[in-house]
Amino acid sequence: MTKFAKYLPALTWLKHYQGADLKNDTVASIVFTIMVIPQSLAYAMLAGLPAITGLYASILPSILYSLFGTSRSLAVGPVALTSVMTASAVLPFAVSGSEQYASVAILLAFLSGVFLLVLSLLRLGFLTNLLSHPVISGFISASALLIVIGQLKYLLGIQSEGDTLLPLVSSLFAHLGDINLPTFILSVSSIASLLLMRRYFINLLKALGCSDSFVQLFGKSGPVLVVIAATVTVATLSLDNMGVSIIGAVPNKLLGLNIEGISWDMIKALFPSAFLISIVGFIGSVSVAQSFAAKRRQDIDPNQELVGLGLANIGSAFSGAFPVTGGFSRTVLNTDCGSKSPMTGIISALLILLTILFLTPLFYYLPKAILASIISISMMQLVSVEDLRNLWRFSKKEAYLLIITFSVVMIEGMETGLIAGVILSILFFLWHTSHPHIAIVGRLPGTEQFRNVQRFSVETNPSILTVRIDENLFFANARVFEERLQSLVSQDPAIRHLILMCTAINMIDASALQSLEKIVDRLADSNVKLHLSEVKGPIMDRLKQSSLLDNLSGQVFITQHQAIQALETKQTNE
Amino acid sequence: MTKFAKYLPALTWLKHYQGADLKNDTVASIVFTIMVIPQSLAYAMLAGLPAITGLYASILPSILYSLFGTSRSLAVGPVALTSVMTASAVLPFAVSGSEQYASVAILLAFLSGVFLLVLSLLRLGFLTNLLSHPVISGFISASALLIVIGQLKYLLGIQSEGDTLLPLVSSLFAHLGDINLPTFILSVSSIASLLLMRRYFINLLKALGCSDSFVQLFGKSGPVLVVIAATVTVATLSLDNMGVSIIGAVPNKLLGLNIEGISWDMIKALFPSAFLISIVGFIGSVSVAQSFAAKRRQDIDPNQELVGLGLANIGSAFSGAFPVTGGFSRTVLNTDCGSKSPMTGIISALLILLTILFLTPLFYYLPKAILASIISISMMQLVSVEDLRNLWRFSKKEAYLLIITFSVVMIEGMETGLIAGVILSILFFLWHTSHPHIAIVGRLPGTEQFRNVQRFSVETNPSILTVRIDENLFFANARVFEERLQSLVSQDPAIRHLILMCTAINMIDASALQSLEKIVDRLADSNVKLHLSEVKGPIMDRLKQSSLLDNLSGQVFITQHQAIQALETKQTNE
């Protein structure tokens, strides 16, 4: 059972699942389903697909994640970031709205799913760590801003094209004369109502004397009411005849993968996008899952999450939909509705299926401007200046990293921006480690502690130089380290012993070993002995595999204190 | 003066330069020039250019480096690795032997020079550190082997094409029936004589009663004698009429950059090659310069080396030649000939100019097979199995890195191999740091020293958990670190204090800071206080810029000993 449970985490919670839980989860699922529908429709529109595919993407993926994922709270389905990344990945291959477009989006979901499974199989989840905090922050802010600008065409009822700042803005300006007044009024009033609802709806319900449990259940249903009100308004006033764009009739068949339109070259060309979408989706999802797990003292297994999300994406592809992942706002909704287990994911999936089968006519008059309003408001919350301000205080360099990522995303697009950010993070890190902090240390009087001579008043011995290298020794700094030691020793002819204090060395690679061997040789020529102290266990094991210790002119001491005592005693005896 | 001398290092040695030095350097230069000519011609052939351009590439570059470089021994000119990299970079753009080919090679030299100067200006020399020891080793072995295989067409007198293993070998096999017997005999006898000369020539000279100084000067002139003997043989027996390929008439004009053939697209396409050639050339050159400098207790300034080599390449472009750098065999020759200062670089440049002006007819009958023999023998020395064996013992992972780099160079070409090696080095390193060694430590009885509980028998306190993280905290491991701490604490409900012992932490970036903040929050929820000990000065300065210390539930202790004492005292009082 435990072995099965590792691969099918649902077994763990299903074991203790009882009738009362089912009752609770069913109520939660009904409310959740009603509230999540507008969001799902909106994100499908963001992906450039018919709004209904947002519902397709909420059935199989949600069930598969509930069975194979390790989070008890996470809600999986269409999410803003991966949806807009889908749009910008698919656009080069097909015209928005065409069958080919849907095929490519489906293929993308499939490839993303496969990538996630491969990452899990090869235990390559660590690759997701490459996205550093400043890069993610810059990426999210810029993408959210781009999304909002991209929604302006729906909010204003005009044409516009492009998925980066300049084309978007210039195309918006070119069509600024075509603003559709009814659409504009609808947008302004829906944005205003959404903002007001967010701030005052709960208080209003309380003031109206609703029970606490009712307020908790429906406190966030503001968007649903706005959607209903707008749809009814459009239908009764026939605003669609006055240029207001509506969802319209929903195709009664699933979109499928059109195999004929797919070539191996296209698959190869989609690889990078699929990879980035799966990584970005995975990181976002795991961080949401972890923060909810911490609140409930539960555990998340990142490797199994790759499986859960991978299967969810493959499920989405087989549903004729686009890449999905675990979303923050979906998960908040899910918890607010009182979900206690992944069973809500399964029940709400079934409810959405019923909706598709019987209720799609209700969406006929739903205006696109309302969905755009919902998207815009939730995206504006993701644009964070606060983050930049904190970073600026902590590290200018990382703040620049955020700014650069932000700018490249805005100007060159999401993928280029993300890749540029990752490459820069790595280069910044390598630059840092290739300029290692090397401290000359001495003994704190009366202790066995050794500290930087520049920061503490410590005792030193003129013929013994102790150098603490505050960095791993590896290819990026091996040559620098070699040069620095040579110049330190050459500055003072009194030095007879050089002790390398290795407290901070966690890794030595072959390049550093080569440098160490050169240093031993060169110091021997200048009659200086090289000693090592405080070498960590794993490093010592490693050095024993090389010939360095055989050729070492000095000794290896466990502690720096012992090293100084031994060398000073030797000196007195000489 | 000192300020000038920084930018024009020649001023430093010219200040003390005397008549006797000039006399010594002139003799050294004459011998050096005679011996270096065959090598220079051979490497031009390797670059796919007329042999004479090897001499063009030895004039201005050598003078410019002598003035602007910081090594007193380094000899700059055509070098095997950069020459063959030139050939493989130029081939996609032009047919070997065409005017266009020469233009592209010249452009490549110019771009390489500009790159080196830019790296110097932006202080980006650290980028060269990205080439780790295993990658360089695999790259050099594979390139040398490819070069030797590429020379077989000259050694056998047949046609062959391609610059990677499979095309080269298949094309050699296809033409194996066309072997030219006179060429083959010439090759075999010249390789045999070269090998014999290398081993026995010095002893032979001594046995013939030559003076020690004569032996020292001419002990390495074997290749020159073989070249002369072969040229005379070909000329007297008219072997060129029997299919032996010879240098032939030397064009009496400099090759120039054909501006019309150059487009901006071509420049962009050459960028990566120019970058890699300059980096590979720079690394090789600096390592040669440093090893010779160490022997003479002199200093090398890597940043000024970028300037010296950059100007040398631009000089080579203006001479109608190809990328150059400081070479190992050139420098050995230079030192063996008795060079004492960079003046030999200037004098031998002038001697080569005289050679071009008056002595080129002497090269008419020089057979290409001889140059190929010289190349092949010097390349075979670069193929090192020893290196792989040592690496295998030290670190399997790095040995695989060498093998992969080697294989990709052989199969996909030099540039792809080098790039693959660099990316893999970085990924290996990030993989390593993203799986940090986290040790639980306790006190060595009776000391102030703290060690890993798994390696030493130490004292611990059940309510205090001390964790030493043996790695920098940054984006690549921040999330892993977060997960590990959470799981450590959750395993033992008795823990009330968690001390992070930060001896080995040299860097904390914003991603790690964010993780630390999350850890503080989560531990507070489980009623565990987080303390820090042994935080390094620079890290402490950095943390003070953030809000972490304000929100810290515990304290910051200078030493781990103080931390334990304080927390244990507090416990007793409670």
CB-based contact (8 Å) between A395 and chain B? Answer: yes
Round to whole Å and give the CA distance between B459 and B445. 6
The beta-carbon neighbor of B504 closest among A398, A503, A525 is: A503
Contacts of A443 by beta carbon, 8 Å cutoff, 6+ apart: A449, A450, A458, A459, A460, A561, A564
Digit-coded pLDDT (tens) for A489-532: 877 888 899 999 998 888 888 888 988 888 888 788 778 899 99
Round to whole Å and give the CA distance between B22 and B25. 5
Digit-coded pLDDT (tens) for B319-356: 999 999 998 889 988 888 888 899 999 999 999 999 98
CB-based contact (8 Å) between B296 and chain A? Answer: no
What's the confidence (pLDDT) of residue B381? 85
What's the confidence (pLDDT) of residue A295? 66
* Whether B133 and A299 lie within 8 Å, measured CB to CB: no
**3-state DSSP call for residue B68?**
helix
How many other CB atoms sit within 10 Å of the CB of residue B236? 9
What's the confidence (pLDDT) of residue B525? 75
Question: Across all residues in chain A, what is the average pLDDT?
Answer: 88
* Whether A129 and B507 lie within 8 Å, measured CB to CB: no
* Whether B536 and A504 lie within 8 Å, measured CB to CB: yes
Nearest alpha-carbon partner for B311 in B1, B2, B10, B3: B10
Round to whole Å and give the CA distance between A502 and A310. 43
pLDDT at B2 over 70: no
CB-based contact (8 Å) between B562 and chain A? Answer: no
Residues pairing with B13 in the sheet: none
Tokens of A113: 């799913």
Contacts of B344 by beta carbon, 8 Å cutoff, 6+ apart: B25, B28, B29, B32, B75, B334, B337
Contacts of B115 by beta carbon, 8 Å cutoff, 6+ apart: B274, B275, B278, B310
* Whether A537 and B452 lie within 8 Å, measured CB to CB: yes
Q: Which residues of A touch B452 (CB under 8 A)?
A: 537
Tokens of A305: 């999450």
pLDDT at A471 over 60: yes
**Three-state secondary structure of B454-510:** CCCCCECECCEEEEEECCCECHHHHHHHHHHHHHHHHHCCCCCEEEEECCCCCCECH
**3-state DSSP call for residue A256?**
coil
- The answer to whether the CB of A77 falls within 8 A of the CB of A58 is yes
What's the confidence (pLDDT) of residue A574? 64
Test mutation, B124, B132, B391, chain A, max A CBs within 10 A: B132
* Whether B133 and A537 lie within 8 Å, measured CB to CB: no
Q: Which residues of B touch A430 (CB under 8 A)?
A: 126, 129-130, 426
Digit-coded pLDDT (tens) for B175-196: 988 999 999 999 999 999 999 9
Place of tokens 């005017």: B99
Round to whole Å and give the CA distance between B522 and B31. 75
First CA to last CA across chain B, in angstroms?
71
Report domain extents, chain B: 19-385, 399-433, 438-573
What's the confidence (pLDDT) of residue B255? 64
Residues pairing with A454 in the sheet: none
pLDDT at A335 over 90: no
Digit-coded pLDDT (tens) for A52-74: 999 999 999 999 999 999 998 89
Q: Which residues of A touch B470 (CB under 8 A)?
A: 506, 536, 538
Round to whole Å and give the CA distance between A534 and A541. 13
Digit-coded pLDDT (tens) for A142-172: 999 999 999 999 999 998 888 889 999 999 9
Over range B20-49, report the average pLDDT.
Answer: 91
Where is A517: in which H helix or E strand? helix A510-525
How many other CB atoms sit within 10 Å of the CB of residue B187? 26
What's the confidence (pLDDT) of residue A78? 96
CB-based contact (8 Å) between B541 and chain A? Answer: no
* Whether A510 and B394 lie within 8 Å, measured CB to CB: yes
How far does B383 lie from chain A, in Å, by closest CA?
18
Q: Which residues of B touch A393 (CB under 8 A)?
A: 545-546
Q: Which residue of B has its CA nearest to A426?
A: B426
CB-based contact (8 Å) between B198 and chain A? Answer: no
Contacts of B493 by beta carbon, 8 Å cutoff, 6+ apart: none
**Predicted model pTM:** 0.79
- The answer to whether the CB of A402 falls within 8 A of the CB of A137 is yes
Window 11-70 of A, Cβ < 8 Å to B:
none
**Higher-confidence residue: A297 or A447?**
A447
Where is A469: in which H helix or E strand? strand A464-469
Question: Across all residues in chain B, what is the average pLDDT?
Answer: 88
> In angstroms, how far is CA B464 from the centroid of its own chain?
49
Round to whole Å and give the CA distance between A272 and A419. 10
> What band does B1 get if pLDDT is binned at 50, 70 and 90?
very low
Q: How many CA atoms lie within 13 A of B331 on its CB side?
A: 24
Over range A87-96, report the average pLDDT.
Answer: 89
What's the confidence (pLDDT) of residue A53? 93
CB-based contact (8 Å) between A387 and chain B? Answer: no
CB-based contact (8 Å) between A551 and chain B? Answer: no
Over range A14-27, report the average pLDDT.
Answer: 88
> Cα dihedral angle (B226, B231, B237, B241), rounded to 10 degrees?
130
Q: DSSP for A123-138, please give it.
A: T-GGGGGGS-HHHHHH
Q: Where are the beta strands (DSSP E) in B199-342?
A: 325-326
Contacts of B147 by beta carbon, 8 Å cutoff, 6+ apart: B46, B80, B84, B375, B376, B379
Tokens of B279: 């980096």
Out of A174-188, B462-476, B524-538, the most confident range is A174-188
Nearest alpha-carbon partner for A511 in B21, B534, B136: B136
Q: Per residue in A322-348, is it b (16+ CB within 10 Å) or e — as a string?
A: bbbbbbbbbbebbbbbbbbbbbbbbbb
What's the confidence (pLDDT) of residue B264? 86
* Whether A132 and B432 lie within 8 Å, measured CB to CB: no
CB-based contact (8 Å) between A198 and chain B? Answer: no
DSSP-H helix ranges across A8-123: 10-15, 19-46, 53-56, 60-68, 80-90, 99-121
pLDDT at A429 over 90: no
Strand bridging mode A76-77 / A438-443: unpaired
Q: DSSP for B275-313, please give it.
A: HHHHHHHHHHHHHHHHHHHHHTT----HHHHHHHHHHHH
* Whether A429 and B132 lie within 8 Å, measured CB to CB: no
CB-based contact (8 Å) between A159 and chain B? Answer: no
DSSP code for A157: T
Round to whole Å and give the CA distance between A432 and B433. 15
How far does B421 lie from chain A, in Å, by closest CA?
12
**3-state DSSP call for residue A347?**
helix
CB-based contact (8 Å) between A470 and chain B? Answer: yes
Span of A386-395, A454-463, B249-258 with lowest mean pLDDT: B249-258
Domain B438-573 belongs to what topology?
Transcription Regulator spoIIAA (3.30.750)
> What band does B316 get if pLDDT is binned at 50, 70 and 90?
very high
Residues pairing with A316 in the sheet: none
pLDDT at B75 over 90: yes
Digit-coded pLDDT (tens) for B496-530: 999 999 988 888 888 889 888 888 887 887 788 99
Phi, psi at B567, each rounded to 5°: -70, -35
Nearest alpha-carbon partner for B272 in B410, B424, B418: B418
CB-based contact (8 Å) between B132 and chain A? Answer: yes
What's the confidence (pLDDT) of residue A1? 45
CB-based contact (8 Å) between A553 and chain B? Answer: no
Round to whole Å and give the CA distance between A81 and A112. 14
How big is chain B by its Cα radius of gyration, in Å? 30
What's the confidence (pLDDT) of residue B295? 66
* Whether B133 and A509 lie within 8 Å, measured CB to CB: yes
Nearest alpha-carbon partner for A305 in A572, A22, A478, A71: A71
Residues in chain B: 574
Q: What is the largest CA-CA distance in chain B?
A: 105
pLDDT at B130 over 50: yes
Residue B320, Ramachandran bin (φ over 0: left; ψ between -120 and 50: alpha; else beta): left
How many other CB atoms sit within 10 Å of the CB of residue A210? 16
Round to whole Å and give the CA distance between A36 and A288. 17
